[in-house]
Structure 1
Amino acid sequence: MPVPAPTGPLVTRDSLCADLRETGVRPGEILLAHTSLSSLGWVCGGAVAVVRGILDALGPDGTLVVPTQTGDLSDPAHWGNPPVPREWWPAVRASMPSYDPLVTPSRGVGVVPETVRTWPGALRSAHPQTSFAALGPRAAEILAGHAPDCRLGEHSPLARLEGLHARVLLLGAGYDTCTSFHLAEYRIPSPLVEVGRPGPDGWETVTEVSISSERFDELGHDFERDRPVVRGRAGGADVRLFPVGDAVAYAERWLPLHRPREEEIQHPPL
């Protein structure tokens, strides 16, 4: 069968940079980017061109941050996509390799974050399940001190990003990917859960705040209605820009009203 012709629009490194600048990305700022490569169109150069285009828009003084989560480093008892047989659980726990920020690949966040993770000069935070990677002059400051018992709370890069007045870039991605909302879960009454994972000395369990992206799409819809969100287009993708701090503050008010505790997932996938 003949291979179908690619569908557009055509996106290049230069066109992406121009679209981001036109939308409002400022040279020298800090961006926490959530991306969907497929939403952009036909990207000449793929994920590498996307990373270069964002870095071009930020300039040499800007810093790009992306989530590089590793939800597979978790208790197989809670896996659902796909699940594994119960009789495998002990062997999986015993043999699962521990997190290594240099070699452990990200999972479930797309090809652009994985490209950033492996970029020359990239740094990565230390949390074994909810790490972030960054490129730029503020990378070390943002990623330092990511506590092993604080996935996305006060001792994570999210709080640093809030304090540095960073903005979120949704590049073809929806509000369901917006990790900034999770920081609000640490500031409202939230249940605690036991989280299992491989550690340097074998299987370990830590007590953590329960986090879930349930209803984040609804939260984002209301946030965009009530708060100033910069909107634009890049290729075929919708672009949204807004401060991390605004997203967190809005979620602190919204979540207790719209997502009662009984709706929360006690062992959510990362």
Structure 2
Amino acid sequence: MPPKASTGPMCTRDSLASDLRALGLKPGETVLVHSSLSSLGWVCGGPVVVVMALLDVLGEKGTLVVPTHSGNNSDPSGWGNRPAPEAWWADIRAAMPPFDARTTPTLGVGVVPETVRTWPGALRSCHPQTSFAAVGPRAAAIVEGHALDCRLGERSPLARLEEGGARILLLGTDFSSCTAFHLAEYRILGLQVDNSFAVMTAEGRRWRTVRDTAISDDRFDELGAAFERDNAVVRGEVGGAVVRLFGLAEAVAYAEGWLAGHRPCAARV
């Protein structure tokens, strides 16, 4: 059987940058990007070129931010994807490598965030499961102070992005991947859960359990559709991908009201 031909369109650094500018991405702004490389078409140079194009458009004064999550550093009793046998759980808790912002790879967020994570000058927040990486002059202020008991709430980079007027770029992804909606969950949901992971401490590696707000992306697709219907979301194409660009603060504010009315357990606390 002959190999499958590459599917287009063909994208280059220049063509991607041109599409991003036409969409409305501006020099000097801060943008949180959720991305799907395959949705763009055939990218000459792969994920490195996507990052180059984003940085070309943002310029020296702009800051690129991506989720660099690593959810496998968690308690195996809660693993739904490829669960481990219960007989292994204790050994997994004892052997799981501690989070290291320099070396822990991303999981489940695509190859573009992994490329940003290792980019020269990139900084990464220190949550063992829901870290973010950033490149640009605002990177340090965005990633510092990410608390172990606050995956995606007030003491996470999401709140710093909100304060800084960042926008969100869904680059070939849909609203189900919009992490900013979780910030709204922290503000309206009172349900607390145990959350465990391996970390490095002054005394060495430790398996630590903290209390944190429960999070779920359940119905984020419906929330996103409603937000797009009621708000000014810029929609266009970059390469072969459908993309959306919108304000993070506006998305969080809308999600607070929507989730309170559509999640059965939603209640302001």
Letter of the 1:194 partner, please give it.
D
* 1:1-270 correspondence to structure 2 within 5 Å: 1-200=1-200, 201-261=205-265
TM-score by length of 1: 0.95
TM-score, normalization by structure 2? 0.96
TM-superposed deviation, 1:238: 0.8
Partner amino acid for 2:31?
A: L
Range that drifts further, 4-13 or 160-169: 4-13
Q: Alpha-carbon deviation of 1:207?
A: 0.1
Alpha-carbon distance in 2 for matches of 1:105, 1:59: 27
Runs of 5+ in structure 2 lacking a partner? none
Over the aligned positions, Cα root-mean-square deviation in angstroms equals: 0.9
Aligned match of 1:268: none
Is contact 2:32–2:169 with CA below 8 Å preserved after alignment?
yes
Q: Which amino acid is the alignment partner of residue 19 of structure 2?
A: D
Shift of 1:109: 0.4
Distance 2:139 2:36 in 1: 22
Unaligned stretches of 5+ in structure 1? 263-270
Q: CA deviation at 1:189?
A: 2.8
Runs ≥4 in structure 1, deviation > 2 angstroms? none
2:189 and 2:213 in contact (8 A); partners too: no
Q: Which amino acid counterpart does residue 165 of structure 1 have in structure 2?
A: G
Q: Which amino acid aligns with 1:127?
A: H
How far, CA to CA, are the matches of 1:199 and 1:99 in structure 2? 5
SS in 2 for 1:194: strand
SS across alignment from 2:188 = coil
Counting aligned pairs with the same residue, the percent is 63
Asked if 1 retains the 8 angstrom alpha-carbon contact of 2:193 and 2:212, the reply is yes
CA deviation after TM superposition for structure 1 residue 9, in Å:
0.5
Equivalents in 1 of 2:24, 2:63: separation in Å? 15
